[in-house]
Amino acid sequence: LGLFTKSWSSDIRLDGKTAIVTGANTGIGKETVKDLAMRGARVILACRDLLKAEQAAGDISRDVENANVVVRKLDLADTRSICDFAELIYNTEKSLHLLINNAGVAMCPYSTTADGFETQFGVNHLGHFFLTFLLMDLLKHSAPSRVINVSLAHHMGKIHFEDLNSEKSYHPVKAYVQSKLANILFTRELAPRAEEMGVSVYAVDPGLVKTDIIRHLNKSLQFFVKTFGFLIKPPEEGAYTTLYCALTPDLPTGAYYSNCAMAPCSRAANDDNTASRLWAVSCHLLGIRWK
C-alpha cells in the first residue's frame, strides 16, 4: 500500500452507462476499466496497440464476470486516427457518459506526431483536446456526462507559447510538464462551456504510480523508483481519484483533484489568460472552430 494513500470506495453502479478510457491497456487505465466494468458499465478501451488492448480486455473479462469491454483503435499521435475512432464511436454507440483522457507519453526522446507536433504536447494535450472536441455532441446527448483529464506533475509546467513544439530547444521533462499543465488549463477552459450542456469536466492527479510510463526515465531515476517503490502507489490506487471524479455525485466541475479530494493547482494552472490563449492556439493548430 502506498504510504499516503487514502483508501476509497463507492458502491455506485453504472449499468446502462458507456465509458471510453484512452491508454487503457496498462497501468492506471487498465485498473480504471476494470473498476468501471465491475460496476456494470460498457467500457471502450481506446488504444494504439490493439494486441496489448485485446490482452488487457481478456484479463479484465477473466477477472470480472460478464464484463462488457470492447477494444477500439486510437492513435492520439495522428489526427486522422482520432477522426476514424470518433466516427466509429458515433456509428456503434448510442451514448457516452464518461470520457477518461488517461493516455500519455512521458519524457521520451524528441519526436513528432503524424501531424508534426512535438509528441508529448501532441499526444498528451492536442490529441485529447481534439478527441474531446469530436465526442462532445455524444457527451452532450448523453448528459449528465463527464470528461476526466489525467495530469501528473503539472506544478513544474509552463506553457512556452513562443516554442510550443520545442523546435528551438527540447527538454523531455520540460515538454512533459508543459503538456500536463495544458491538460489542466484545458479542463479549466472547457468546464464553463460544457456545463450548460450538462457535461462536467475534471482534472485528476493520480499521484506517483508504478506504471510503464517510467520506461524513458534515466537509469538512476529508475533505480530510485525501484528502490523507493513503497512510496509509490500500485496502479489500482492510482486509479482512485479518476474513479472518485467519475462516480461522486454533485462534484464541482472545472476543478483539480488529487487523493480523492479537490486540491490546489499551480499558479500557472489558475491563469485564465493562459487558458484562453492555449485554447485558441490549440484550435488553430488542429484547424478546428470550437466556440
Would 55 be classed as within a structural domain? Answer: yes
Would 154 be classed as within a structural domain? Answer: yes
Would 6 be classed as within a structural domain? Answer: no
First to last CA, the chain: 44
210-246: b (≥16 Cβ within 10 Å) or e: bbebbeebeeeeeeeeeeeeeebbbbbbbbbbbbbbb
Number of domains composing the chain: 1
Would 280 be classed as within a structural domain? Answer: yes
Instruction: Just list the catalytic residues.
Output: 176
User: Are the C-beta atoms of 195 and 147 separated by less than 8 Å?
Assistant: no
d(C-alpha 147, C-alpha 133), whole Å: 11
pTM of the model: 0.91
H helices present in the chain, as ranges: 27-38, 50-63, 79-92, 119-120, 128-141, 172-195, 219-227, 235-238, 240-247, 272-286
What pLDDT is stored for residue 160 in this prediction?
A: 96
What pLDDT is stored for residue 175 in this prediction?
A: 93
279 Rama class: left (phi>0) / alpha (psi -120 to 50) / beta: alpha
Our CA dihedral for 35, 32, 16, 99, rounded to 10 degrees, sits at 170
- Please classify residue 3 by burial: count the beta carbons closer than 10 Å to its beta carbon, then call 0-12 exposed, 13-18 middle and 19+ buried: exposed
d(C-alpha 86, C-alpha 134), whole Å: 6
For residue 74, what are the domain limits?
A: 18-286
Residues of the chain where predicted confidence (pLDDT) is lower than 70? 1-7, 208-233, 235
What pLDDT is stored for residue 3 in this prediction?
A: 44
Partners of 257 in the beta sheet? 204, 262
Would 138 be classed as within a structural domain? Answer: yes
d(C-alpha 3, C-alpha 50), whole Å: 35
Would 191 be classed as within a structural domain? Answer: yes
What pLDDT is stored for residue 235 in this prediction?
A: 63
Would 165 be classed as within a structural domain? Answer: yes
Would 179 be classed as within a structural domain? Answer: yes
What pLDDT is stored for residue 155 in this prediction?
A: 75
User: Are the C-beta atoms of 98 and 146 separated by less than 8 Å?
Assistant: yes
- CATH number for the domain harbouring residue 266: 3.40.50.720
